[in-house]
Each structure stands twice: as structure tokens, then as C-alpha cells.
Amino acid sequence: MMDVLALALQCDMTRVVTFMLGAWESEYFYNFLNVGGDHHSVSHHVGQAEQLRELEAIDRWEVEQYAYLATRLKSMTEGGSTVLDNSAMLFGSDVSDGDSHSYENMPTIVAGRLGSAITPGRHIKASGEHPAANLLLSLLRGHGVTDTKFGNSTSALNLKA
């Protein structure tokens, strides 16, 4: 599926792709990762070492899929740059910790340069209210959208250093 997404972007069949590896309450079993429970049950680890190991295996696999797509887009030329250079890839989760259902410090990865709207290779700790909405507002601005709000955003983040 990652190859199909990459080709659709390279061929300019689309400029927007949404791909979900699993729903928030996924009961998918990752047998190929030696995980004994389904994703949702494993995410309610209660601090148990084996479930934490299994959750780490699932998380690592999901990030590897993201990295694979980013690498594919980086290998595809588009004008004088790459498809990844002209894109923004957002990877995240609906919670930061499935056990507590916490929304604090939600891990999010953004790859690509979005033309020149993003300076990659940095860690940005978004603080204040509604950092996820602020990030989405920032990505919209990188696409040239001039709206001043997105959802409950309070301000755009500086994605260009």
C-alpha cells in the first residue's frame, strides 16, 4: 500500500493521502511481531513488562512503515527536488498513552520540507493550548491557506528555522 501511495503522489494523481494503520480500538493481532494480544488490549499495559515489550514492537513496526514511505518519496524526483521535499508527512496517534488515555505530549512526526515551509531535522516541543491543532494550522499555512484558525488552534507553530 505504501508503494501505491508513493506512486499516486509521484504521478500527481493526488496531492493528499490519508492512511491509517489501525483504528484507535483496533483488535488486530500482530502475530508476525510475536505479539500475543490485539493492539488495543496491549495498549492497556498497566505497566506490565511483557505488554510494554509487545506495544514497543507494534509501535516500532508502525514507525518503520512511515519511514519506508518517506524513503520512497525521497527517492522519487520531482522537478529539481524530490516528492518528499515537496510534501509534508504527518505521523501520529490519537493518544500519548493508551493505558491512561492521556492526550499530553502526544508524539507526532513530520517529514518533508513542504516546498520550503518546513526545516526538517529538528525537535519542536509544542507547548500551550491545543498543540496538535496548532501544528495542523501550520501545515495548512505551508500549503498557502491563509485561515487564522483550524479547529481549536490558538496560533501557528514556527516550522521554519
pLDDT, residue 94, reads 81
pLDDT category of residue 37 using cuts at 50, 70 and 90: confident
Q: Rg for the chain (alpha carbons), in Å?
A: 17
Residue 62 inside a domain? The answer is yes
Q: What does the pLDDT average to over 77-99?
A: 91
Residue 31 inside a domain? The answer is yes
Does residue 102 carry a pLDDT above 90?
no
Residue 101 inside a domain? The answer is no
d(CA 103, CA 94): 8
Domains contained in the chain, number: 1
pLDDT category of residue 11 using cuts at 50, 70 and 90: very high
DSSP state, 97?
B
Domain span including residue 58 = 2-80
Angle, helices 2-10/49-75, rounded to nearest 10 degrees: 30
Is 73 in contact with 83 (CB distance < 8 Å)? yes
Residue 39 inside a domain? The answer is yes
Query: pTM to 2 decimals?
Result: 0.90
Residue 72 inside a domain? The answer is yes
Residue 93 inside a domain? The answer is no
